[in-house]
Amino acid sequence: MNIEPGSDPLAVLRRLHTQLRLLTPAVTLAPDTPEVTTMLAGLAETAAAATTLLSAVEPGTLTVLRRAFACARAHQHNETASELVTAHGRISALLRGEPH
């Protein structure tokens, strides 16, 4: 799934940013809960929606998110949280218009 024509591309980035901000502490504090599993699934959907945009303007963020999902599947919680923090920083810089 990608951004639909006519939609605000910043909206998907803001949603991704918010999800990362909320998910990172959840992964740190309660990584094996159903809520975190649900939040990761939601993040994956949002990341899929942002794929075209991120591929064009910040492909490194897609790589970081893919690593985060791989770490989550492997139950490597510290690594997952670290990758999520990195992705959050990259999205923050992108939203502020800063080069990364």
Chain segment 51-99, per-residue pLDDT in tens: 999 999 999 999 999 999 999 999 999 999 999 999 999 999 999 987 6
- Return the domain boundaries, the chain: 9-96
Concatenated DSSP letters of the chain? --PPTTS-HHHHHHHHHHHHHHHHHHHHH-TTSHHHHHHHHHHHHHHHHTHHHHHHH-HHHHHHHHHHHHHHHTT-HHHHHHHHHHHHHHHHHHHHT---
Determine the pLDDT at residue 2.
46
Mean of per-residue pLDDT scores for the chain: 92
Provide the pLDDT for residue 98.
76
pTM equals 0.89
